[in-house]
Structure 1
């Protein structure tokens, strides 16, 4: 396992592959039971993985409970644990306990700490933006938790980029703990964050974790199963993913992915994950079985050439749209972009 710093604003070294626990629990079919979850966690640890992602909402809190049981038998400080608040562990939460506000934050973090059997969480995320709570309330509440020692770093997930930018700039100007990491959906088939999130992460020094790195398993499909790709988005197992688009248009791109996998003697999953690693992100794996985990762990050893990366970018074409296409065309024509070194900074 290789390691990277968690962004440019921390000194924390984490494994470049993150173990996601969204499927660890017994509250729905197709998930990992306690024994399976333990084997997956043990194997990830044995492979050198130290970065584990969970949430109060995963499997009604059972994922955190399984992880807490695992941590109780190991040295807690060896692991970097990320969890999230907002969605709650309750199936039908009261209206006063759901959202990004301080009351929800207090209830959620205390519940997560108990289930995880720990007195601190390394990275604590706002799981979803509720679109209501003022950024000032969110960031001051998270800052209080950092100063109380209950969380160490702040993360933002599934939040509009203007809200992420507002949170970052408010924290910087008000002397609060700034967010260090984002977690957004990102994979070969869903590249929307390339418009603004990735440029902002680069400019601000924030790390980027990529959930659903295999597009709910679609990018790992065998060629024999490509006939089932159409509509597969509505069957994706990732509990965050509510993409119901027909995926038939992906078949030519998936064939290109399969060709590259065959040429490099790697699996489609390894190639798709290696592409994400080359983009500087931390893929959040979501295995249900030990075999699924094993099929992903060697992705960090895959070397994609510049031509390979360009080929995948072209196959899974992404249009930035207005105003980015216009700005790129105008600046390129003027030769202005040649003056740029590493892009804008904050």
Structure 2
């Protein structure tokens, strides 16, 4: 199932995002921790994280209008303006979630009215007249994909955005959007932003194949599973599981504390010991090496975490180490994927193995 790609050795080993001409770093800087000192980072630490990432050669900054109620965008806009970095950086932000205006359902969702409201607010906070990559933050279950495509296309033609992509959407929605854009000759999405890590590999079933077929890059969020794969949380007592006593707070609640995930973490510890590198670096190296993955999104609340994550670009795991990690975190069997085997392929073609193009 896995096709490993050549590993970059620095943040300046740039690549295009999907089948587009947008050039990005192999790791993106996520800024959900910016402007939220209660659980994120103080403003001075955010500034250090931002500038360290840029000085290391990184160019891909990811934020959203709901991060710190716009505070993240305001901080980033200030950092960029202070150093005249706008042309150097690929600036991405998101819209979908409600602005908080009471009694106004049109202040949220993916309809044209909210999209236009949201883009104007983001442009103002980011102190720019265009967004490089505008993400639809989540599927709202309501707005027709045709309306979303037309609205994005209008923003591209107006010069307010350069490209757009989808975050947290079904694979069928992505495929439909890409097909409609091709048939109609209008701007198409270039990327997906989805959860992906050793503890969450569900996108391998539908999203990765759809993205590959449609020419979309994938930017994984939470590649360290909210710190779980960095070894941040520990089981306490014998036989502790998802319902056992756990140390530390966790943005996923108890969702990641399952027997399966603790076994994945044990395997990760084994591989990390073999390569003599921290758990987080090995987990990031595994994600970055998967075919179709463009720029995993780093989240850091301390400068040391950023340095640690950037060092993952130096790691080259062996095929045996990849196999250990793949097997320990493998997806459970699910219909209809169990049908799609080499044995069934031979049966369909009268005992002959037929390999498709690509």
| TM-score greater than 0.5 by the shorter chain | yes
- In the TM superposition, what whole-angstrom CA distance separates every residue of 1:169-189 from its partner, at most 9, and x where no partner exists? 111111110000000010000
1:46 corresponds in structure 2 to 55
For the pair 1:339 / 2:330, whether they are aligned, the reply is no
Report if aligned partners of 2:280, 2:309 keep a CA contact under 8 Å in 1.
yes
1:118 corresponds in structure 2 to 128
| Structure that is richer in helix per residue | 1
The offset of 1:31, in angstroms, is 1.3
Out of 207, 211, 226, the residue aligned to residue 216 of structure 1 is 226
Out of 313, 330, 333, the residue aligned to residue 300 of structure 1 is 313
The offset of 1:23, in angstroms, is 1.0
Q: 1:320 to 1:284 in 2, by over 3 A?
A: farther
2:195 corresponds in structure 1 to 185
2:213 corresponds in structure 1 to 203
* Partner SS for 2:162: strand
2:7 corresponds in structure 1 to none
Q: 1:257 to 1:111 in 2, by over 3 A?
A: same
- How many equivalent pairs are there? 337
The offset of 1:145, in angstroms, is 0.3
Out of 223, 234, 250, the residue aligned to residue 225 of structure 1 is 234
Report if aligned partners of 1:7, 1:207 keep a CA contact under 8 Å in 2.
yes
CA distance in 1, matches of 2:80, 2:256: 38
The normalised TM-score by structure 1 is 0.91
Report if aligned partners of 1:155, 1:181 keep a CA contact under 8 Å in 2.
yes
The offset of 1:91, in angstroms, is 7.4
For the pair 1:176 / 2:186, whether they are aligned, the reply is yes
Report if aligned partners of 2:228, 2:256 keep a CA contact under 8 Å in 1.
no
For the pair 1:258 / 2:269, whether they are aligned, the reply is yes
2:172 corresponds in structure 1 to 162
* Partner SS for 2:264: helix
Consecutive unaligned residues of structure 1, counting only runs of 5 or more, are: none
Report if aligned partners of 1:5, 1:11 keep a CA contact under 8 Å in 2.
no
Out of 34, 37, 40, the residue aligned to residue 43 of structure 2 is 34
The normalised TM-score by structure 2 is 0.88
1:273 corresponds in structure 2 to 284
CA distance in 1, matches of 2:320, 2:137: 36
CA distance in 1, matches of 2:102, 2:302: 29
- In the TM superposition, what whole-angstrom CA distance separates every residue of 1:35-66 from its partner, at most 9, and x where no partner exists? 11111000101111110100001111101011
CA distance in 2, matches of 1:336, 1:169: 32
Out of 135, 157, 160, the residue aligned to residue 147 of structure 1 is 157
* Partner SS for 1:296: helix
2:250 corresponds in structure 1 to 236
2:299 corresponds in structure 1 to 286
Report if aligned partners of 1:123, 1:152 keep a CA contact under 8 Å in 2.
yes
For the pair 1:249 / 2:263, whether they are aligned, the reply is no
* Partner SS for 2:140: coil
The offset of 1:119, in angstroms, is 0.7
1:80 corresponds in structure 2 to 90
Alignment RMSD (CA, Å): 2.2
CA distance in 2, matches of 1:307, 1:325: 24
Report if aligned partners of 2:99, 2:107 keep a CA contact under 8 Å in 1.
no
Larger radius of gyration: 2
CA distance in 2, matches of 1:18, 1:305: 25
* Partner SS for 2:186: coil
2:144 corresponds in structure 1 to 134
Q: 1:15 to 1:320 in 2, by over 3 A?
A: farther
The offset of 1:11, in angstroms, is 1.9
Report if aligned partners of 2:342, 2:353 keep a CA contact under 8 Å in 1.
no
